[in-house]
Amino acid sequence: MSVQPFVLRPHQHEPALNVVGTEVTVLASNAARQSSGIILQQGEEGTGPPPHSHDWNH
């Protein structure tokens, strides 16, 4: 299976989620990419979730 190019225009995503004081924006879901998802995480240093992993990362 070949990977298809992915283009995201400004504001072509859902609103950011507040995750422990950090804005997390899903730019592309795993399903949309048929592969790995793409997120943008913005916040002050020291905010946001602590280092962790998910079952789907392994």
Residues 6+ apart with CB under 8 A from 44: 21
Structure tokens at 50: 């602590």
Would you state the pLDDT for residue 1? Answer: 59
DSSP sequence for 1-56: -PPPP----TT-SPPPEEETTEEEEEEE-HHHHTS--EEEEE--TT-SPPS---GG
Residue with tokens 């989620």: 17
For 4-54, what is each residue's pLDDT tens digit?
A: 777 888 888 889 999 888 999 988 877 666 677 788 999 998 888 888 888
Q: Could you give the percent of the chain with pLDDT greater than 70?
A: 86
Measured distance CA(55)–CA(2) in Å, rounded: 25
Q: What is the pLDDT of residue 50?
A: 82
